[in-house]
Copies of this chain bind each other. A is one copy, B any other.
């Protein structure tokens, strides 16, 4: 074995451990035991191991730019994610370029091509509602461009991901209404075709069940916009279906419900309490202010970017893909306090 040409793989073979373990041992990674680190160090010194100059220079041949594919910039949640991404990236000396799919599959494919052509060092992706074919995303990995998914993930692709526990957030939002004495809680939900709509409804149902409150199909309505909420609430009131709480799948829906309820002469929160699910911008400007779920878009952006930078910078990029699940917080405001 010629000195100076010893590789991580040589050390691994010699010690009968994986290259990834050797790499992490050399970097003093906390997951690696002291014994292994010592063995690796000793062998590296004995064989005069030098970090692979070719590999290093490849790593250094970076554009220092990361690409972001985002469904719709107009949503406050996604623009918060971008803020988180940019703060971490710029701090680390990386630039960020953003492409918007606008919820269209074709644009997402074009976005992926553009980012590859721009020679980004890695990408952060949240897929469009209509993406069911993932070749354009697999293409990043084929070109050794690491990918981290955030919020909307692809089950078929092995990659790091950061997601939010929608089910748990909906459960806690409903639970809060029950804890404050409500028993007839309407759910204005999203389309059941989307996982997000299903998860939030399931969380709502779990909270009811746990409290021994039977679910009433009359109180579960697919209504996920300001206008749909107004119509749905009007219909409930006109049909004399009683309710004392509303859990809405997003804040605009909650605000539509709130206005219609107030217009019909009911007091919030005294007679009917309202909880939304955050778009983030509206909850502070309603009267009363709106209890809502904070989805932590900024944290999601920072976390996803840290995971991506680790992939980009790490000499060893073969460690297993990680999934991080963020818990959303319920922020209690005037619309649900007794």
Residues on A lying within 8 angstroms of B by beta carbon are 63, 65, 73-74, 76, 79-80, 82-83, 86, 90, 95-100, 102, 107, 110-111, 113-115, 117-119, 226, 252, 255-256, 259, 262-263, 281-282, 284-285, 287
A285 in contact with B113 given A83-B102, A90-B107, A95-B99 (CB within 8 Å): no
A99 cross-chain contacts in B, Cβ below 8 A: 95-98
Q: Whole-angstrom distance from the CB of A323 to the nearest CB of chain B?
A: 27
Contact present for A97 and B95 (CB under 8 Å)? no
A97 cross-chain contacts in B, Cβ below 8 A: 97-99, 114-115, 118
Q: Whole-angstrom distance from the CB of A229 to the nearest CB of chain B?
A: 11
Q: Whole-angstrom distance from the CB of A140 to the nearest CB of chain B?
A: 16
Q: Taking the full assembly, how many copies of this chain does it contain?
A: 2
Closest to A120 in B: B118
Partner of A285, one of B98, B102, B119, B252: B252
A150 and B96 CA atoms in complex are apart in Å by 21
Q: Whole-angstrom distance from the CB of A192 to the nearest CB of chain B?
A: 26
A110 in contact with B90 given A97-B99, A99-B95, A285-B282 (CB within 8 Å): yes
Cβ contacts A to B, 26 pairs, < 8 Å: A63-B117, A65-B117, A65-B118, A73-B79, A74-B79, A74-B80, A74-B83, A79-B79, A83-B102, A86-B102, A90-B107, A90-B110, A95-B110, A96-B99, A96-B100, A97-B98, A97-B99, A97-B114, A97-B115, A117-B118, A118-B118, A226-B285, A256-B285, A259-B287, A262-B287, A282-B282
A284 cross-chain contacts in B, Cβ below 8 A: 226
A82 and B285 CA atoms in complex are apart in Å by 26
Q: Whole-angstrom distance from the CB of A18 to the nearest CB of chain B?
A: 36
A255 cross-chain contacts in B, Cβ below 8 A: 285
Q: Whole-angstrom distance from the CB of A49 to the nearest CB of chain B?
A: 35
Q: Whole-angstrom distance from the CB of A187 to the nearest CB of chain B?
A: 21
Closest to A252 in B: B285
Closest to A226 in B: B285
Q: Whole-angstrom distance from the CB of A220 to the nearest CB of chain B?
A: 24
